[in-house]
Structure 1
C-alpha cells in the first residue's frame, strides 16, 4: 500500500486540455517509472476559449467546466488519501495570457483552500518539459522540441549515468500546434516554412548546442507531434497494426522522417487519418501544419541522426523533480522489472552472466536487458501452458508492463520476445511476434545481433530458471556455470548436482541445449556470431 506522503497529484491546465495525474513516488527505485495511480484528461481548451473573444478572458462557461473537472479530481485525491500539500496545480501558456487569471485562482481556492495555482513562466514551463523528456527514456542526449498548443520550446539536454545538463536557457517561439494551423491557413505553406526556418535558426543559436556533438538525436514531445508518431508507426508497418500501442519511446531514423514529411495531405486524406490509431479529428486537422514544422526542423537542426517521440511533458517533469537525484538516473527498464523479482532472480542473473561473454555481447543486452529478463523470468509461471508464451510476448506491450513509463520500443519488443522464448515460444498467432522482431531488427539497422543474443539468453533461461521453478533458491549447489573459448568458438560449461530431482525433471531440456544453440547460429546465418558448444557434467 502506498504511504500518503509518497503520493502526489498534479493538475495541469494546458492550452488544449486539463490533465490530472496521481502518482506513487516512494523514495527508492520504484519512483523512477512515475507509477500512476490515476490518470485522466478533460477536453477543455483554454486556448480556444480565450482566442474566441477580444477581451482575452476565460468565458464563464469554460470556468464552470474547469471547476467541475477540478472538483471531481479533488474528490478522487481524497479517495486515494493524497495529502493536500502534495497536490500541485499548474497553468501553462494559455492561462498566462488570460486577463482574468485571478478568477481562476479564486475558484481554485474555493475548491480546496490549501491549493494555489502556479502560473508557470515560459522558461520554467520549458525546463519542466525537458525534465519530462528526460524521464521518458534512459540516457537522453540531444535536442528537445516540445510543441504545445500555444508555443514551441526548444532546448538540449545530456542525461546519462551520473550527470544531467540542460541548456542554460531554452528558446521559445509562438508556433504552437494551434497557431501553426491558423498561420498555415492564413499565409500558406511556403511562407510558413520560411517563418519557421527563421525562427528555428534563431532558436538553435540561442540554445548553443554543444559543439562536440557530431550528430544529434531529436526528442519530440507534445500531442501534435505524437500524432505524427502515430502516423509514422502506421506507415512504417505498411498499414498493418503496429505491434506496440504506446507512443513513448518510438524511434525513427532521419530517412524515415524525410519520407514522412513528403506525404501530401488534402481533405480526403485528413478524413482517412482520423481512422489511424491515436489520431483524433483535432490532431488530424493539425497534421498538415506540423509536417511543415518538421520540414523546417530538418533544414535547420544540426546533423540529425535519429528521432525519439516522448510522452513526458510538464506534469511528468514536475513529478520527476520530486524524486531523489540518484533515482532519476536509474535505468527505467531495470527499475520497472525489479519489482517483479523473485528470491531466485539474482541467482539466475548471476548464472546467465557467467555463461554470457561480455566482450561479445552488446552492452545494451548485457547491462540493461539481461537484468530485466532475470527479474521478469517468473512473471508468467502461474499461467497455463497454453497461454504462457503468448502472455510473455505481449507482456511489455499489452500486458502488466505496458503501463511502465520510460521504456523504448526496442525495450518492449525484445523483452517480450526473450520471455516468450523462455516459455517455449509457441504462440497462437505469429503476426505480433513477427512485428516485434521487425521492430528489433530495424532498431539494429537491419542486423539480427540483438535477436541472436536474446534467443541465446532465452534458451539458457529454460534450463537455469527451470532448476528453481517457483523462484526460490533452496540449494546454491544445484548448478555450476562457466564459459571458455574465443570470439569464434564458445564453450559453455554446465555442471549439475548428481541425483537432484530438479535436475532430473528438466533433463530432456539439458540434453537438447547443445542442438538448440547450434540451430540458433544457423537460423541467423551470420558468420560474425560465434560457434557455441556445450559441455555437460555432474558434481
Structure 2
C-alpha cells in the first residue's frame, strides 16, 4: 500500500520539533517520526528583540539536521512554522531569507491568532469535548481560547511563556517570594479577559508543559493505564504537583519521573499557570490533549476541500480507524449490531438488567471492536483485545470510557472479566461492575449467533416469563456451529440477568 506522508517543523521558543505523519485508510494521521531539539531560541532574543547570530546559527544547524532526516521520505505536504520568538524578532525577515538561502525552506511565521486557532482546532478534532477553554504554554507566549458547540468564540495570546516566567524565580531571593509574585502576576493577567472568569467548563492543556505535568501526576498515582491523551486531573491534583515541585532544587527536579530534563527549570512556573487559570475559570476539570499546534495545521490542510475543518464525529472516526487497522469484518459488525440492538431494547423495555440509554452507547461502541485481539492471536484474543483497547489512545474517549469499552469488547467469561477489572475495581461502584459484566455477556452472546461470520441468523423473537426468557432464533443455511456456541455461551448471560434462557433454533421458511 502506498502511504501518504506529511511533515511539519515547529520552531518554538523552547524547543524545535520535526514530526512526520502517515495517513491511514480512515483518513486520520499517525506519527511516524518525532524528532526534538532543545534549541531555546528565546535565550538568544536580546533586549532590542533581535535574534542574535548564535541563535540564528543554532536555528540553521537544527533545520539542516531535520532536513537530513526527511531525505528518506517522499512527502505529500511539508510545512515549516515558527511561533513567538521568531514572530517577535525584529530581524525575522532576514531570518526567513537566510533559511531560504541555506536550507531551501520557507518559514511560515504564525500570528498570535493563528497559533491559538490551530491549538483549538486540534482539540475539537481529537476529543468529543464540545465546550471548553484551551491553553498552550510555549516558551515565549501563552495562547488561550474558548469554544462552544465546537465553534471558536474567543482567543488571546499572552506575551509570557514558561521561559519568561522562570525569571520570577531568578529575580526573587526565596522560592516562596517568587511563587507569591508569580501567582499574583498570573491572576492579574488572567482577570483581564472577562470571558475566562467563572467559565466552569473543561480546561484543556496543550503542549509539552501540560504533558509533563500529566506524566508526573500519573507517576505519583502509579496510574495503571497507558496513554496521556484525554487524561483528567482536578485542581487539587495540580495544587499537589505545584507543592511537590516547589520542594525540590534544580538537580532533584531533573531526576523526577515523568519530567523531561530540559523542562526541569520551567515546569514549576508552567504548572502555576495551569493552576491559576483553573482557579480563575472555576474549571470543571483539567484534560490533557496530546494533539496540539502541529496537528491543527494538518487538520486545516486535510479539510481544505470540505465545507468545514471539523470532523463530524471524532469517536466514530477513531472506531473506524480500529476496524481498518485490525481488518475487522464490517458486514459481520453491522449484522451483530442489528441483533444486539433488538435484544438490548427488548430487555430495556421490560426493565430487565436495569439497562439505560447510555448502556446502549457503550454496547454499540464495543460491538464495533469486539474481540479485535484475534487479529494477533485467536487463542488469547480476549487478553489481547482488553490490552489493546485499554492502553491505546482512542480519540473521543476519556480514559474511564476507554476502559469500559475494553472490558465489554473483551468479554469471555466472568472469571476473565474479574481478572481484567481487578486493578481498576475501585474506579467503579459494585453496580457499575455488574452492569459492565452484563453488557459484555450480552455482546458475547450475540456474537455467538454469528460464530461462522455467515449471517446465518436472520431474526429472532422473545417471550418473557417470570423467571425465564424463551428465544426463538430463525436461521437459514446450516446453523449447527451457531447453535453450539450460543448454547455454550448463554450461561454467562443467564447469570448476569438472573434468568433462565430457553433457546430454539428454527429454520427459516425458505429452508423448510
User: TM-score category by the smaller chain?
Assistant: 0.7 to 0.9
Query: Residues 254-282 of structure 1: CA distance to partner in whole angstroms, max 9, x if unpaired?
Result: 44444444546222697267342x32123
Matched, 1:166 2:152: yes
Tell me which residue corresponds to 1:45: 40
Q: 1:457 — aligned with what?
A: 439
Show the 5 A alignment for 1:44-443: 44-50=39-45, 55-57=50-52, 59=54, 60-76=56-72, 79=73, 81-83=74-76, 86-110=77-101, 113=104, 115-159=105-149, 164-168=150-154, 170-187=155-172, 188-203=178-193, 205=194, 207=195, 215-235=200-220, 237=221, 240=222, 242-263=223-244, 265-267=246-248, 271=252, 274-276=255-257, 278-301=258-281, 303-321=282-300, 322-323=302-303, 324=306, 325=308, 328-332=311-315, 333-339=318-324, 340=326, 341-342=328-329, 343-357=331-345, 361=355, 363-367=357-361, 369-384=362-377, 387-398=380-391, 402=392, 404-422=394-412, 426=416, 430=419, 433-438=421-426, 440-441=427-428
1:92-144 per-residue CA deviation (whole Å, 9 max, x = no partner) reads 1122123443454235435775x422100111111111112222311331111
Do 2:494 and 2:501's aligned partners in 1 also have CA atoms closer than 8 Å?
A: no
- Measured in 1, the distance between the counterparts of 2:184 and 2:78 equals 43
Alpha-carbon separation, structure 2, partners of 1:191 and 1:291: 15
Report if the CA contact (8 A) 1:218-1:306 is conserved: yes
Q: For 2:298 and 2:191, how far apart are their aligned partners in 1?
A: 32
Secondary structure, in 3 states, of the residue corresponding to 1:9?
strand
Distance change >3 Å, CA 157–CA 34, structure 1 → 2:
farther
Tell me if structure 2 keeps the 8 A contact 1:352–1:461. yes
Measured in 2, the distance between the counterparts of 1:232 and 1:258 equals 11
Deviation at 1:250, TM superposition (A): 0.4
Larger relative contact order (CA 8 Å, sep ≥ 6):
1
Q: Structure 2 matches for 1:2-41, cutoff 5 A?
A: 2=2, 4=4, 7-25=5-23, 30-31=26-27, 33-41=28-36
Q: CA deviation at 1:219?
A: 1.1
Deviation at 1:482, TM superposition (A): 5.6
Matching residue of 1:538 = 505
Q: Aligned partners of 2:61, 2:373: CA distance in 1, in Å?
A: 44
**Residue 381 of structure 1: CA displacement?**
2.1
With over 3 angstroms needed to count, the CA separation of the structure-2 counterparts of 1:436 and 1:13, relative to structure 1, is farther
Give the 3 Å change call, closer, same or farther, for CA 288–37 of structure 1 in structure 2: closer
Q: 1:272 to 1:104 in 2, by over 3 A?
A: closer
Distance 1:110 1:273, change over 3 A: closer
Kindly indicate whether the alpha-carbon contact (under 8 Å) linking 1:351 and 1:481 is maintained by their aligned counterparts in 2: no
User: How many pairs were matched up?
Assistant: 484
Contact 2:235 2:275 in 1 (8 A): no
Scaled by the length of structure 2, the TM-score of the pair is 0.82
- Show structure 2 runs of 5+ residues with no match: 173-177, 507-512
Larger radius of gyration: 2
SS in 2 for 1:94: helix
| Distance in 1, Cα, partners of 2:102 & 2:447 | 54
Match of 1:475 among 431, 445, 456: 456
Partner of 2:473: 495
- Cα deviation, residue 208, structure 1: 6.3
CA shift in 2, pair 1:423/1:510, >3 Å: closer
What's the RMSD between the two structures over aligned residues? 3.5
Question: Which residue pairs with 1:523 in the alignment?
Answer: none
**TM-fit CA distance, 1:533:** 5.7
Question: Deviation at 1:436?
Answer: 4.3
Residues 1:491 and 1:252: Cα distance change in structure 2 (over 3 Å): farther
TM-score by length of 1: 0.78
Give the C-alpha shift of residue 10 in structure 1.
1.8
TM-aligned CA deviation for residue 364 of structure 1: 4.7
What is the CA–CA distance in structure 2 between the aligned matches of 1:483 and 1:72, rounded to whole Å?
69
For residue 506 of structure 1, report the CA deviation from its aligned partner.
1.4
Distance 1:456 1:40, change over 3 A: farther
Q: Is the 8 A contact 1:92 1:119 kept in 2?
A: yes
Deviation for aligned residue 1:91: 0.7
Structure 1 pair 330–355 and aligned structure 2 pair: CA distance change class (3 A): same
- Alignment correspondent of 1:528: none
